[in-house]
Chain A
Amino acid sequence: MTYLLLALILWLALWALNTRLANGPSSETRAVSLAIPLIFGATLLAIWELVVRGLDVPLVILPPPSLIAQTFATQTAILWADFVQTFVKGALTGYVIGCAAAFLTAILVDRYALLKAGLLPVGNFMAALPIVGTAPILVMWFGFDWQSKAAVVVVMVFFPMLINTVAGLGETTAMQRDLMRTYGASYAQTLTKLRLPVAMPFIFNGLKISTTLALVGAIVAEFFGSPTLGMGFRISTSVGQLALDMVWAEIVVAALAGSAFYGIIAAIEKGVTFWHPSQRT
């Protein structure tokens, strides 16, 4: 009971603190903008810990954060091996191949009006489908190892990337195109000097969406068969053994990998599209 009471008091105290910070004079500074969500996150973790202890929640339902942290710290070797298998070999390989293929296809599609009129609606349609369902087929074709995971990732990232790139390449204004015509510029010159730079914000949007999809694809594909290694494999077997602390540790890895991946792409975007109004503030 004391734990629960403590949780309640903690919640009220920290929420009051955040309210003061958010409505205070320095709420727009960088430090405070960063501190508020961190305090909120820490509060949730603390309450999770206290409630699990207070109510004696069984470990097979919800392990406390302290135990998850402990598992994370002691099992780093396994977690690292799983990370390399799923993220570096599966997700990253598939991401690079899928995005590159989609980019080249987009340039081809953009060049021919007929292809654009025909392929774009199909691409839009495909992007809304549960493509992750192709996982069992691709696992059958490419075997249990990371190649099949990379293949699932390729299929998953291809269409969102294609649509975004084609949309970006069409983003030039009539005046910009006329300017290039008055210079008698060739197709290649117009592409490299005008249309690709204009498309960059869209291309990066596709790249950012694809980071999450890549990780989802690689993990879910492992549910359909994998070597005895990998984040998806570990999650499904640990769930079977009711070792939920291990599951949560893998989820922490997935969360860290996912946000770091996204963060890196976003940082590159900032460097490349520094000129875009959305990046200038």
Chain B
Amino acid sequence: MAAPDLPVISASGLDLTFQTGDGPVHALKDVALDIHKGDFVSFIGPSGCGKTTFLRCIAGLEQPTGGTLSVNDMTPDAARCARAYGYVFQAAGLYPWRTIARNITLPLEIMGYAKAEQSARVERVLELVELAGFGAKYPWQLSGGMQQRASIARALAFDADILLMDEPFGALDEIVRDHLNEQLLALWARTQKTICFVTHSIPEAVYLSTKIVVMSPRPGRISDVIESTLPKTRPLDIRDSPEFIEIAHRVRDGLRAGHADDA
């Protein structure tokens, strides 16, 4: 466990170059960022800016070609094997042959939790994502929003301190998305987790985050880091406040600046 003043995730000089048929692609170049315990960090930028790649590096799913990256003072690979984080993908990716409850026990089975412990945890996380009573259903019997909530429950089940989320609500409609954003904030407040959240949507990033990382493409890099001045408790209508609109402006300017270099 990292001390409160030390960063949970720390990157400096991070480079990642893919070799493709058309020559090397610089997915990440010289990325430096510290994320502290309890932060809610959003990564925003156009496609190809490396936001998902950076998240995958933190998760140990991609190997950086240069620089240093530590998660809980370990290498990302070691952190992955120590089950330091839960990962939520763009699609729910629930296994259709398992019920919701059995989907949530999947990581617990793999990590070797006892049977009784497994069902206690399932009950608890289902309640956290407001799906209590749906444990016996199959994923294909639920709506898209409910499936995504189940996949968040799956990531929460084994008590990792870090939650990595890759555009988890990207495929959902606006109304469901608003609802889930509200729920996610409540969940974050209750569990005190560190959350890294990749998104395309400026309002979503501003509404959720304590820190917004604006990224730009070719090569993928950080062009701005914005500390949010919004209070921790945020009703949905905070999005009409002048403060919110101002932060959104800054994010939009940052995105434009990133784009201007390419022309």
Interface residues of A, Cβ cutoff 8 Å to B:
173, 175-176, 178-185, 189, 193-194, 197, 200, 273-277, 280
Contact = CB atoms under 8 A, between A and B. Distances in A.
Given A175-B89, A175-B91, A182 B59 contact: yes
Contacts of A179: 87, 89, 93
Contacts of A175: 89-91, 93
Contacts of A197: 95, 97
B112 to A, nearest CB: 10
A275 B140 contact: yes
A276 B95 CA distance: 10
A173 B92 CA distance: 13
A237 B133 CA distance: 66
B80 interface: yes
Contacts of A277: 140
B182 interface: no
Contacts of A200: 97
B61 A178 contact: yes
Interface string B48-75: 0000000010011100000000000000
Contacts of A275: 96-97, 138, 140
B61 A181 contact: yes
A183 B111 contact: yes
B170 to A, nearest CB: 13
A194 B95 contact: yes
Contact of B89 (A178, A184, A273): A178
A181 B93 CA distance: 14
A178 B80 CA distance: 11
Interface stretch (B6-14, B102-110, B122-130, B223-231): B102-110
Given A182-B59, A273-B97, A274-B97, 15 more contacts: A175-B91, A176-B93, A178-B56, A178-B61, A178-B87, A179-B87, A182-B80, A182-B87, A183-B106, A183-B110, A183-B111, A184-B111, A193-B106, A275-B96, A275-B138
B43 interface: no
A270 B195 CA distance: 41
Contacts of B95: 176, 194, 197
Contacts of B81: 184
Given A178-B89, A275-B96, A275-B138, A185 B80 contact: no
Interface residues of B, number: 25
B92 to A, nearest CB: 10
Given A178-B61, A183-B83, A276 B96 contact: yes
Nearest to A190: B110
A67 to B, nearest CB: 50
B85 interface: yes
Nearest to A193: B106
B87 A185 contact: no
Nearest to A182: B87
Contacts of B106: 183, 193
B107 A183 contact: yes
A277 to B, nearest CB: 8
Contact of B85 (A180, A182, A185, A273): A182
Contacts of B107: 183
A38 B109 CA distance: 50
Nearest to B86: A182
The 10 A-B pairs with the shortest beta carbon distances in the complex, nearest first, are: A275-B96, A182-B87, A275-B97, A184-B81, A197-B97, A185-B110, A183-B110, A183-B107, A175-B93, A189-B110
B93 A184 contact: no
Contacts of B60: 181
30 contacts: A173-B93, A175-B90, A175-B91, A175-B93, A176-B95, A178-B56, A178-B61, A178-B87, A179-B89, A182-B59, A182-B80, A182-B85, A182-B87, A183-B83, A183-B106, A183-B110, A183-B111, A184-B80, A184-B82, A185-B110, A193-B109, A194-B95, A197-B95, A197-B97, A274-B97, A275-B97, A275-B138, A276-B96, A277-B140, A280-B140
B70 to A, nearest CB: 17
Nearest to A176: B93
Contacts of B82: 184
